[in-house]
Amino acid sequence: MPKIDFQSYETEGFFDETFENDKIVKPHYALFIDWLQKMGLKKLNMLQHSTDRVQLSMGMTFNVYSDNQGVERILHLDIIPRIISGQDWDLLERGLKQRIYAMNLFIDDIYNDQKILKDKIIPKELILSSSSYLKQCVGLKPPKGVWVHITGTDIIRGADGSYYVLEDNLRCPSGVSYMLENREILKRTFPEVFEKLNVRPVYNYSHYLRDMLESLSPVFPASIAVLTPGTYNSAYFEHAYLAQQMGAELVEGRDLVVQDDFVYKITTKGLKRIDVIYRRVDDDFIDPEVFRADSMLGTPGLFRAYLKGNVVLINAPGTGVADDKAVYAYVPDIIKYYLGEEMLLPNIETFLCDREKERDYVIDNISKLVIKQTDASGGYGMLIGPKSTKEEQAEFIQKIKKSPRNYIAQPTINLSRVPTLSDQGIEGRHVDLRPYVLYGSDINIIPGALTRVALKKGSLVVNSSQGGGSKDTWVVDNF
């Protein structure tokens, strides 16, 4: 029986989450690795296989958008967990809180007084030209002044082992259901070692989420709904999952109707009021009367009811302006401006193609950089310089020259790696980290995250739409 050893495991050139460069196991991984080696590869493969089956039977599937066939896939869950030490986690938590307080104040300011623009910290044109800036939200005062109730910040770890924020994701990010279900699955897969390590729990998430949603409505008990684009949406599993976990109604736009500026669901016994909507439909689509008129996913009048304070929308519309990748470059200034603090959790160095000097640098060094479209997400609209062809580079240079405002560039970061089960045994694969942050009366961060893993050897793209998988993330104190 093939034993698990890490003789041929490579750690050179990357930051490895598990091993030092001389292959000494890091203390927070010691217990798990020790236990893994006792188990053997055959048993591990068996456990992996049964995990795949559990995911299928739970219908944890998604459709891939670009795929006309509408092929149903599972998000591969690699059973070797990503383990984070409690100290590291506490650091991340402080950094995230700071960042989200500041981003929330920023959004509130942008749609109200625009002090940060008047003080010329950020160029006014940059904000007003953002495709995610919604003029319909000007003057909006959401309940308790909170705009970003739910955030899923993308964090990576570079070659030096420091954590960096890669993206803020302030528009109802997805993936939290995988964090919760991955944990359920792993608890069954590795019960003994899980118990010994005293992993910090995540099961409270849906309770906290429900409490947060309820706390935003003046109505008690508030009637809560999760608004989904429908079963064909790639995150539908999550929408249904969260509705079920919270005991909320799962609705589509066509299930709702607005009368006298109140929102109602259409039931077999007539109309019933809805007070809080956790909407997983993008801003552009929530209300055809105000935003995209061709939207079939929203409900006419929804925004009107929202402005009147008759329904709460989570997240508030308009938060996308702070997700703009050009705004990202200003986050250190934003934190300093609103909180008077230095940024705790650093950004990645970012070049704004809108600035001539930086643009020239980007064009000259395109083969070394990652180019991103400022209003895109999900791994789309980007070029990874070192992995691209000359033709692709030329194409992006044209795009940048045509609309420089829409592009930024960042150095290519060699994401950290975690041991991952592959056909060749256990090998290092690159990962990122997406913790979930709730903001109601105050900020609440659940000690866990979705770790996304690039399953292809050497790949740096962790997005589920492009061959990424996931791992459970364990925050541990006892090791």
Partner 1 sequence: MLSRVADAMYWMNRYMERAENYARFMDVSFNLSLELPPHVSEQWQPLVVTTGDWELYSEKHESINKENVIYFLGFDPKNPNSIYNCIVNARENARAIRPEITKELWAQINYLYYFVKNGLEKKIWVKKDPRIYFDEIKKGCQLFWGIVDATISRTEGWHFGRIGKMLERADKTSRILDVKYHILLPTAQDIGGSIDIIQWAALLKSVSAYDMYRKLYGKLTSVGIAKFLILDNEFPRSMLLCLEHTAISLRMISGNTNGYSNQAEKEVGMLTSQLVFADINDIISSGMHEYLDKFQIDLLKVAEAISDSFFSVEKNIAKA
Between 221 and 458, whose beta carbon lies closer to partner 1? 221
State the nearest-atom distance from the C-beta of 87 to partner 1, in Å.
Answer: 36
State the nearest-atom distance from the C-beta of 259 to partner 1, in Å.
Answer: 8
Between 249 and 472, whose beta carbon lies closer to partner 1? 249
Between 209 and 454, whose beta carbon lies closer to partner 1? 209
Between 241 and 337, whose beta carbon lies closer to partner 1? 241
CB 224 within 8 A of CB 263: no
State the nearest-atom distance from the C-beta of 52 to partner 1, in Å.
Answer: 11
State the nearest-atom distance from the C-beta of 208 to partner 1, in Å.
Answer: 19
Q: Is 249 in the site for partner 1 (CB under 8 A)?
A: yes
State the nearest-atom distance from the C-beta of 241 to partner 1, in Å.
Answer: 8
**Could you tell me which stretch among 145-153, 209-217, 238-246, 416-424 binds partner 1 (CB under 8 A)?**
238-246
Residues 105-124 touching partner 1, rule: CB under 8 A, are: none
Between 110 and 246, whose beta carbon lies closer to partner 1? 246
State the nearest-atom distance from the C-beta of 315 to partner 1, in Å.
Answer: 21
State the nearest-atom distance from the C-beta of 246 to partner 1, in Å.
Answer: 9
State the nearest-atom distance from the C-beta of 251 to partner 1, in Å.
Answer: 7
Of the residues 32, 89, 236, 337, which one makes contact with partner 1 according to CB under 8 A: 236
State the nearest-atom distance from the C-beta of 269 to partner 1, in Å.
Answer: 7
Site string for partner 1, 260-289 (x = CB under 8 A): -----xxxxxxx------------------
Indicate the pairing of strand 224-227 with strand 249-251: parallel
**Could you tell me which stretch among 23-31, 90-98, 249-257, 455-463 binds partner 1 (CB under 8 A)?**
249-257
Q: Is 71 in the site for partner 1 (CB under 8 A)?
A: no
Of the residues 36, 199, 222, 250, which one makes contact with partner 1 according to CB under 8 A: 250
**Binding footprint of partner 1, residue count (CB under 8 A):** 26
Between 161 and 230, whose beta carbon lies closer to partner 1? 230
Of the residues 31, 257, 339, 344, which one makes contact with partner 1 according to CB under 8 A: 257
Q: What is the spatial distance between Cα 149 and Cα 315, in angstroms, rounded to a whole number? A: 6
- Cα-Cα-Cα-Cα torsion 248, 253, 256, 259, nearest 10 degrees, comes to 130
State the nearest-atom distance from the C-beta of 72 to partner 1, in Å.
Answer: 10
Q: Is 76 in the site for partner 1 (CB under 8 A)?
A: no
Residues 204-233 touching partner 1, rule: CB under 8 A, are: 230-231
Residues 28-67 touching partner 1, rule: CB under 8 A, are: 56-59
Site residues, partner 1 (CB under 8 A) = 56-59, 230-231, 236, 240-241, 243-244, 248-252, 254-255, 257, 265-271
